[in-house]
A and B are shown apart, each in its own frame.
Chain A
Amino acid sequence: MSTTLPWMQAWDLVAKSCVYLDREAYPDYLGLLDDDYQYSITCYSPDLRKDMIHLKVNKEELADLVGNIHNHIRLSGSLFRQVSLYSLEQREASYDAMSYVSVTHTNLDGVSKVFCVGRYFDRIAVRNGEVRLKSREFRMETRDIGAGCHYPI
Chain B
Amino acid sequence: MGRSETAWQTPPKLPKEDFISNLVYADPEIFALEMERVKKATWKFACHESEVPEPFDFRRVNHAGMPLVVVRGDDGAIRCFINACSHRAALVVREPSGNGRQFTCLFHHWTYNTRGDCIGIPREEAYKPVGLGKESLGLREVRCETRLGLVFVNLNDRAPGLDEYLNGALENLVPVMGDPEQPLEVFSYHKTVVPTNWKNWHETNMDPYHEFLHYINRRVAMRGDGYHERSWKIYPGGHATLSPMRQKYEHIKGWRPRDNKPMPGIMADEFRTVKIFPDTNIIARSTVMRIDTSTPISPGETLVELRGLGIKGESAEDRAMRVKHHNQFWGPFGRNLYEDAHAAECVSEVNIGGGGSYSILARHEGQKTQDDVLLRTYYQEWSRLMGRPAQNPKAEGAA
Contact = CB atoms under 8 A, between A and B. Distances in A.
Nearest to A64: B254
Contacts of B254: 60-61, 64
Interface size class of A (residues with CB under 8 A): 20 to 34
A52 B334 contact: no
Interface string B191-207: 11110000000000000
B258 to A, nearest CB: 16
A54 B194 contact: no
Interface stretch (A25-33, A40-48, A119-127): A40-48
Nearest to A76: B342
Given A73-B339, A147-B337, A149-B338, A47 B192 contact: no
A47 B334 contact: no
Interface string A113-153: 00000000000000000000000000000011111111000
B371 interface: no
Given A53-B327, A61-B254, A150 B186 contact: no
Chain B interface mostly: mixed
Chain A interface mostly: loop
A71 B215 contact: yes
Nearest to B254: A64
A87 interface: no
A41 B342 CA distance: 22
22 contacts: A48-B51, A48-B97, A48-B186, A54-B327, A55-B331, A55-B333, A56-B320, A60-B254, A71-B215, A72-B338, A75-B338, A143-B190, A144-B191, A144-B192, A145-B332, A146-B193, A146-B194, A147-B194, A147-B341, A147-B342, A148-B338, A150-B334
A91 interface: no
Interface residues of B, number: 36
A72 B187 CA distance: 26
Given A72-B215, A73-B338, A47 B194 contact: no
Given A47-B96, A52-B188, 11 more contacts: A47-B51, A50-B187, A54-B331, A56-B327, A64-B254, A71-B215, A147-B338, A147-B341, A148-B192, A148-B337, A150-B335
